[in-house]
Chain A
Amino acid sequence: MLEVNTVTFRYSEVEQDTPPALREVNLRIDAGETVAIIGHNGSGKSTLAKLLAAILKPTSGTVLVDGLNTTAHGEDLWTIRQRVGIVFQNPDDQLVANTVIDEIAFGPENLGLPRFEIEERVQEAIALLELEAYAQMAVSELSVGQKQRVAIAGILAMRPRYLLLDEPTTMISGHTARQLLETVRRLALERGITVIHITHFMHEVNAFKRVIVMDEGHVLMDGTPADIFARANELRAVGLDVPMVTSLSQHLRAQGWSRLPEVVLSSDQLKELGVPAGVGDTVGADLSRPSPIYRPTGQADTVGTQFIAPVGWGGANPMPLFELRNVHHTYLRGTPFAVKSLTELSLSILEGQTTALVGPTKAGKSTVVDMLAGLIKPAAGTFFFGNDDVGVPSFNIERIRSIVGVVFQSPDSQIFEDTVGKDVSFGPRRKKMPLAESRRLVQQSLEAVGLPYEDFRSRYTYALSGGQKRRVAIAGVLALQPKIIIFDEPTAGLDPRGRRELLELIAGLKQQQGFTIIYTSSGLDDVIGLADMIYVLDQGRTVLSGTPREILLHADQLAALDISLPEAAQIALTLHGMIPTIRTDVVSLEELEYEITKVKNSPAPADLTPVRGTATITTDDQTQSEM
Chain B
Amino acid sequence: MIELSRDITFGQYINNGSALTRMDPRTKLLAAVLLIILVSFVTSFTAFALCLLYCIILQRASRISLSYALRGFKPFLGLLVFIYIIQIVFYYSPTQHTSIIWQWGIFTVSREGIIRSTLIMVRVFFLYYFASMLMFVTSLVDLTDGSEVLLSPLEKIGLPVTYIVMVFVIAFKFVPIFITEVERLIKAQTARGVRFDQGNFIRRAINFGPLLIPLFLNGFHRAEALTIAMEARCYGAGRRGWRRSKRRALHFNRSDILVLVFTIVFCIVTLIVNFVAPF
Chain A residues within 8 Å of B, Cβ to Cβ: 53, 55, 73-75, 77-78, 81-82, 85-86, 88, 90, 92-94, 96-99, 101-102, 105-115, 118-119, 122, 138, 140, 154-155, 158, 331-337, 370, 373, 375-376, 401, 404-406, 408, 410, 412-416, 426-427, 430-431, 462, 476-477, 480
Contact = CB atoms under 8 A, between A and B. Distances in A.
Nearest to A404: B191
Contact of B235 (A86, A110, A410, A416): A110
Nearest to B194: A430
B68 A334 contact: yes
A138 B233 contact: no
B7 to A, nearest CB: 9
14 contacts: A55-B228, A90-B225, A93-B229, A101-B247, A102-B248, A108-B245, A108-B247, A336-B16, A410-B184, A414-B192, A416-B185, A416-B210, A431-B193, A480-B192
A413 B3 contact: no
B246 A109 contact: yes
A118 B139 CA distance: 20
B9 A335 contact: yes
Contacts of A114: 245
A98 B141 contact: yes
A109 B244 contact: yes
Contacts of A410: 184
Interface string B1-16: 1010110010011111
Given A336-B16, A375-B191, A331 B3 contact: yes
B225 A102 contact: no
B155 interface: no
B49 to A, nearest CB: 29
Interface stretch (B40-48, B213-221, B268-276): B213-221
B140 interface: yes
A334 B237 CA distance: 45
Contact of A370 (B16, B187, B229): B187
A376 B3 CA distance: 10
Nearest to B9: A335
Contacts of A110: 233-235, 237, 244
Contacts of A119: 247
Interface stretch (B22-30, B75-83, B95-103, B173-181): B173-181
A427 B211 CA distance: 15
B240 A74 contact: yes
B9 A94 contact: no
Contacts of B243: 112
Nearest to A369: B187
B14 A426 contact: no
Contacts of A404: 191
Contact of B191 (A55, A101, A401, A431): A401
B200 interface: no
B238 interface: yes
A108 B244 CA distance: 9
Given A74-B240, A118-B247, A412 B226 contact: no
A336 B237 CA distance: 39
A208 B244 CA distance: 36
Contacts of B139: 98-99
A408 B188 contact: yes
Contacts of A334: 6, 67-68
A98 B173 contact: yes
B225 A93 contact: yes
Given A99-B141, A413-B188, A77 B237 contact: yes
Given A55-B228, A90-B225, A109 B238 contact: no
Interface in B214-264: 214, 217-218, 222, 225-226, 228-235, 237-240, 242-249
A621 B185 CA distance: 40
B134 to A, nearest CB: 16
Contacts of B170: 96
B191 A82 contact: no
Which of B65, B170, B173: most chain A Cβ within 10 A?
B173
Contacts of B194: 430
A69 B189 CA distance: 49
The 7 A-B residue pairs with the shortest CB-CB distance, nearest first, are A94-B229, A430-B193, A93-B225, A105-B247, A110-B234, A406-B191, A107-B233
B73 to A, nearest CB: 14
Q: For chain B, give the interface size range.
A: 35 or more
A94 B226 contact: yes
Contacts of A431: 193
A119 B247 CA distance: 6
B64 interface: yes
Interface string B129-152: 000000000011100000000000
A419 to B, nearest CB: 13
B93 interface: no
Contact of B6 (A74, A81, A335): A335
Contacts of A375: 1, 187, 190-191
B184 A96 contact: no
Contact of A158 (B15, B64, B229, B234): B234
A480 B193 contact: yes
Given A74-B240, A333-B6, A88 B225 contact: yes
B211 to A, nearest CB: 8
B178 to A, nearest CB: 12
A94 B235 CA distance: 12
Which of A78, A332, A431: most chain B Cβ within 10 A?
A78
A81 B234 contact: yes
A99 to B, nearest CB: 7
A109 to B, nearest CB: 5
Nearest to A106: B233
A398 B192 CA distance: 11
Contacts of B218: 412-413
Nearest to B5: A332
B75 to A, nearest CB: 15
A431 B194 CA distance: 9
A401 B65 CA distance: 36
Contacts of A81: 231-234, 237
A111 B64 contact: no
Given A93-B222, A462-B217, A480-B192, A115 B234 contact: no
Contacts of A408: 184, 187-188, 191
Contacts of A106: 233, 235
A427 B193 contact: yes
Given A93-B225, A96-B170, 10 more contacts: A78-B234, A98-B173, A99-B139, A110-B233, A110-B234, A112-B243, A404-B191, A406-B188, A413-B188, A414-B192
Contacts of B64: 336
A81 B237 CA distance: 8
Contacts of B187: 370, 373, 375, 406, 408
Contacts of A154: 233
Nearest to B237: A78
Given A81-B231, A97-B141, A332-B5, A109 B225 contact: no
Contacts of B233: 81, 85, 96, 106-107, 110, 154-155, 158
Contacts of A427: 192-193
Contacts of A108: 245, 247
B245 A112 contact: yes
A179 to B, nearest CB: 23
Contacts of B210: 416
Contacts of A86: 232
